[in-house]
């Protein structure tokens, strides 16, 4: 099973993954990125990561990663980045501070 990890670096969302083992043929990886519900196209990538620049201009970014062996799909996984999960600070009763998730 392959998992996608997401990191935030200097205004960009970086998605990375490991390539599953294929038992035969030529291997390739494609990504399909959806920004705020607006789908893109399948794009061939040559490495094990994909970066979306200026990611904070989008509420959500979904990425589907498809692994192919001899042009047949052998695995598919999905990753998600959302700026709604960032933390906010709010004041509670009696003057105590609390950090809460906005999710």
Q: Looking at residue 10, what DSSP letter applies?
A: T
- What number is the average pLDDT over the span 52-56? 91
Q: Are 74 and 21 in contact (CB under 8 A)?
A: no
- What number is the average pLDDT over the span 25-38? 89
pTM for the full predicted model: 0.71
Residues β-bridged to residue 3: none
Average pLDDT score over the chain: 77
- pLDDT top residue among 3 and 8: 8
Instruction: Say what the pLDDT of residue 52 is.
Output: 93
Write down the domain spans for the chain: 5-101
Would the pLDDT of 35 be above 60? yes
The fold adopted by the segment(s) 5-101 is: Immunoglobulin-like (2.60.40)
Q: Looking at residue 27, what DSSP letter applies?
A: E
């Amino acid at each position: 099973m392959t998992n996608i990890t997401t990191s935030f670096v200097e205004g960009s969302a970086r998605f990375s993954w490991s390539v599953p083992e294929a038992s035969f043929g030529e291997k390739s990886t494609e990504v399909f990125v959806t920004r705020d519900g607006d789908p893109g196209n399948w794009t061939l990538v040559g490495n094990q990561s994909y970066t979306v620049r200026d990611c904070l201009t989008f509420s959500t970014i979904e990425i589907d990663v498809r692994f192919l062996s001899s042009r047949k799909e052998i695995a598919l996984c999905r990753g998600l980045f959302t700026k709604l999960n960032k933390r906010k600070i709010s004041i509670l009763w009696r003057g105590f501070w609390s950090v809460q998730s906005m999710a």
